[in-house]
Chain A
Amino acid sequence: MTQNKILEQTELNIINMGLELFKQETERQNIPTLQVNWRPPCGGDPELIRIIDAIRERG
């Protein structure tokens, strides 16, 4: 088990996935925040996603 690193990260730099509201609010606090314009992978098909993930894990 590794010691938690959060206390070392005095300057947060954020990736935001989902509600843009949260990005607006961290930017309001002058925290650099990158919005990921996420879309469901594989057209949202859970079986395709499962296959892609299995291939990725093995690769």
Chain B
Amino acid sequence: MLKNKILKNSYFDSATLMSITGKIANLLGSNRDVAVMMATDTNKELMQASGLLTAESAAAGPNDLVLAVRGRDEEHSEEILKEAEDLLLQKNKPQNKSTEVEVTTVEQAVAAVPESNFAVVSLPGAYAAREVKKLLQNDKHVLLFSDNVSIDDEIKLKDLAIERGLLMMGPDCGTAQINGVGLGFANQLRSGNIGIVAASGTGLQEVATLISNLGGGISQAFGTGGRDIKEQVGGRMMLACLDILDQDPATEKVVIVSKPPSAAVVDKVAERLKSFSKPVVTCFLGADRTQLQQRLPQLQIADNLADAALLAVGKESFPMPTIPTMKLQPEQKYIRGLYCGGTLAYESILLLKQQFSSVNSNIALTQQEILADSNQSVGHTIIDLGDDEFTRGKPHPMIEPQLRSERLLQEALDPETAVLLLDVELGYGSHSEAGQLLAEDIKQARCELQKNDRNVFFLVHICASYEDYQGYAATRQILEDAGAIVLETNAQAANLACSLVAK
């Protein structure tokens, strides 16, 4: 039975709301029967579309909080609503904070800490641009994690930043490594002479961690936000970051990572690289390399993220684990990928498409391969679980890995599944027990499979540096103990999946 409760004039930040949504979803046994959202027009539409909005909540305003729950019956729903409200009240209690200054605006923050030089902004998209403008006007570099910022705002903010000699990384920029500090979702990296510019979050993380793990090191790793390389934004921040790396005495080699830029942006980048003083490796995932190679014969072009790291460091290959022999049933024909990292999902689709004519996805390469229902796999399927449709009102799976658990079991028990492809990210921002939680899910799935004497290959790529605080080696061990095959790179995992199914 659906019930809503409105808490008038009660603002909570998105992380609090997502944390409570996750806890209530656990109580209900599903994340489809709960929403805890500020009643903005967009959120009300989302709740309406999910069948979670009652008539009375339609009148709620953007400063009101709506708790929406669908329990077994009225009593159950009331009980769960009370639980949600109690959790929110606990969050509202004054924390036992230190003597830290309490500030609520950019102006107060700038006055309180005049020596500040950087801002990390993850506010709701509708409000983010005006705060970033004030930060830039106060000479702060910005990492803008928020999405749903208009393209016009992005252009204006980037122009303002460039004019003032500042970084404006984003919107939708999840990661950067600046002067040795990991920002957003980031990793503990070896310091060194390789600089990175990336229009892709997990693309940056994959290349940076692999370089570090190969014994190389990172000078700077800039994120530009995914839209920077589209025609309208014109590669503004990518070009600005290339200028920085060209001048940086600590940088001796540069890697550029993105999905294929617009033709105009490729032109601008190619033109810039003609006078670039350092060797460059490009990884434009999915792009045709021929023209670019003709224009820039000295350019090292990588076809995938792992190759970009190998070219940057000057090494040949990554080690491969031993693959156990495992009997599959004749109907087990398909690969199912469940990804937290969007670029890793995209790279896997590209690699699978080299072997199979059809790879379905919520981020598929062609219209025909877009899944009719993203919750239902068809044939070979790769899912980006960090995509908007899965994360509206819910935490990103890197923060809350248990959001993947239900789907993992569903895919493992599908009689047509032969291989499950999974990524797990470690480092700053990622869950402190991401590896353990995934290992538990794999163990549970294998237990269910064994009841019917069935096997599935669980291929896991750990996207992390050997130095990340959660422990790379310990994470690998716990996953192998659970029955997973652990791969150093996403490309290895995708290629291995193809070979296991092709047999």
Contacts and interface: CB of A to CB of B under 8 A. Distances in A.
Contacts of B11: 39-40, 44
Contacts of A53: 130
Contacts, number: 156
Contact of B429 (A25, A32, A41): A25
Contacts of A46: 126
Interface string A1-37: 1111111011111111111111101101101101111
Contacts of A41: 127
A12 B178 contact: yes
B182 A22 contact: no
B120 A28 contact: no
B163 interface: yes
Contacts of B296: none
Contacts of B113: 13, 15, 32, 34
A34 B116 contact: yes
Given A2-B163, A5-B165, A26-B183, A14 B118 contact: yes
A21 B15 contact: yes
A57 to B, nearest CB: 10
A43 interface: yes
A44 B41 CA distance: 11
B66 to A, nearest CB: 14
A4 B120 contact: no
Given A34-B103, A34-B112, A40-B11, A15 B140 contact: yes
B166 A5 contact: yes
A34 B109 contact: yes
A49 B141 contact: no
Nearest to B123: A18
Interface in B177-196: 178-179, 181-184, 186
Interface stretch (B242-250, B269-277, B287-295, B478-486): B242-250
Question: Which of B61, B127, B186, B429 has the largest count of A CB atoms less than 10 A from its CB?
Answer: B127
A14 B165 contact: no
Nearest to A41: B127
B309 interface: no
Nearest to A30: B181
B155 interface: no
B133 to A, nearest CB: 9
Question: Which of A21, A37, A49 has the largest count of B CB atoms less than 10 A from its CB?
Answer: A21
Contact of B428 (A13, A14, A29, A32): A29
A39 B108 CA distance: 13
Contacts of A25: 182, 186, 428-429
Interface residues of A, number: 42
Interface string B337-366: 000000000000000000000000000000
Contact of B104 (A4, A15, A38): A38
A52 to B, nearest CB: 10
A19 B119 contact: no
A17 B120 CA distance: 6
A17 B181 contact: no
A37 B163 contact: no
Contacts of B115: 13
A17 B179 contact: no
Contact of B181 (A12, A18, A34, A36): A12
Interface in B44-67: 61-63
B15 A20 contact: yes
B103 A44 contact: no
B244 A4 contact: yes
B14 interface: yes
A44 B121 contact: no
A39 B120 CA distance: 16
Given A1-B162, A5-B165, A14 B120 contact: yes
Contact of B131 (A5, A13, A38): A38
A40 B63 contact: yes
Contact of B116 (A4, A13, A19, A45): A13
Contacts of A22: 120, 122, 145, 183-184, 429
A18 B166 contact: no
Given A13-B117, A15-B140, A38-B123, 20 more contacts: A9-B117, A9-B179, A12-B179, A14-B118, A15-B119, A17-B106, A17-B122, A17-B131, A18-B121, A18-B145, A19-B14, A22-B145, A22-B429, A26-B120, A26-B183, A34-B116, A38-B105, A40-B11, A43-B61, A53-B130
Interface of A: 1-7, 9-23, 25-26, 28-29, 31-32, 34-41, 43-46, 49, 53
5 contacts: A2-B163, A19-B14, A36-B109, A37-B103, A39-B104
Interface of B: 9, 11, 13-15, 38, 40, 61-63, 100-106, 108-110, 112-113, 115-124, 126-127, 130-131, 135, 140-141, 145-146, 162-167, 178-179, 181-184, 186, 220, 240, 243-244, 247-248, 399, 428-429, 469
